Amino acid sequence: MKETPAKPAVKKTVARKAAKETAEKTAGRQAAVEKTTVKKAVAGKSTAARTPASKKTAAATAAKKTTAGKKTAAKKTTTKAAATKAAAVKTPAKKAAPARKPESRAAMVRRARRINRELAELYPYAHPELDFTNPFELLVATVLSAQTTDLRVNQTTPRLFAVCPTPEDMAAVPPEQLEELIRPTGFFRAKAKSLIGLSTALRDRFGGEVPGRLEDLVTLPGVGRKTANVVLGNAFGVPGITVDTHFGRLARRFGWTTAQDAEKVEADVAEIFPKSEWTMLSHRVVFHGRRVCHSRKPACGACPIAPLCPSYGEGETDPEKAKKLLKYELGGQPGQRLKPPADYPGQPAPPLAAS
């Protein structure tokens, strides 16, 4: 018996069934994939949720510090640039001082002698600022004036000369007593030794009299050229240049010398001025050094000889400020001598206060 061939309807049914199964399998695979993706996303969110807050805070803080550091660095750079710019504006370039023309020897001598004449008009009353009545008192007072003021010496010597009026008396006084008498002048032990030594030499070698020659005076203990010239010029009328700290300082400022050594300064100045002027020149220059041309802050703005001074400008140039720097009679203050000369225009110094 022959088989009957399948009908077309049956074939269509079988095909639809196979397509349906294939579609279901594909949908199942897609669902599985979507389910896996969802699980991973949920897991990622859970992990992020479990991240400690401290880590987030640290990260945020680090970010803030980095930002702040950048801002600070930028601010510092800007501030430094501004400061540099301001400094450039406030600090103008220094102008070079005009070159001073070299001064000939003849011109310097003329200027130096004019300064002496100007000082003579300014200080017609210039004098030695140590109180004394005879060569011995002047010699002793000059030795005591080392490393102290003439004022302190003048306040000390009245009591000293009341006890030791002559070389013989001073040579015989006990060293301890002499030290106590001159203690206010400082370095009293060394000075007492010099005073006893020179008094003994005057007693034994010069008959108790102060010699009137430079070569004899410098042989006495504690007596050098400066002290000898003070005594010769003011007690014996023998011209001499007294180079103390004031005289040496002004001689260099005036351009009379460049030397630091006192004897070289004396020699240089002696070549400029006639011998007859030496003693009074010393007084005038010392007066000016003590009153106007101070060591640390000269009163340039109140100095009458400023136009003649090559060192003008080293001190205060404002007239009002400079006026306040003047001392002694120029500043309305007492002088250094308890018994000044009659023509001295200032006030006498007060005696030593009782201790």
What amino acid positions are annotated as catalytic residues? Answer: 226, 244
- Tokens in use for 11? 């074939």
CA angle 95, 101, 107 (to 5 degrees): 145
Strands (E), the chain: none
In whole angstroms, what is the distance from residue 152 CA to residue 40 CA?
A: 105
User: Are the C-beta atoms of 140 and 195 separated by less than 8 Å?
Assistant: yes
In whole angstroms, what is the distance from residue 213 CA to residue 87 CA?
A: 65
In whole angstroms, what is the distance from residue 202 CA to residue 281 CA?
A: 29
* 291-328 exposure pattern, b = at least 16 Cβ within 10 A, e = fewer: bbbbeeebbbbbbebbeebebbeebbbeeeebeebbeb
Question: In degrees rounded to 5, what are phi and psi of residue 7?
Answer: -80, 150
In whole angstroms, what is the distance from residue 105 CA to residue 268 CA?
A: 12
User: Are the C-beta atoms of 193 and 175 separated by less than 8 Å?
Assistant: yes
User: Are the C-beta atoms of 223 and 191 separated by less than 8 Å?
Assistant: no
DSSP 52: -
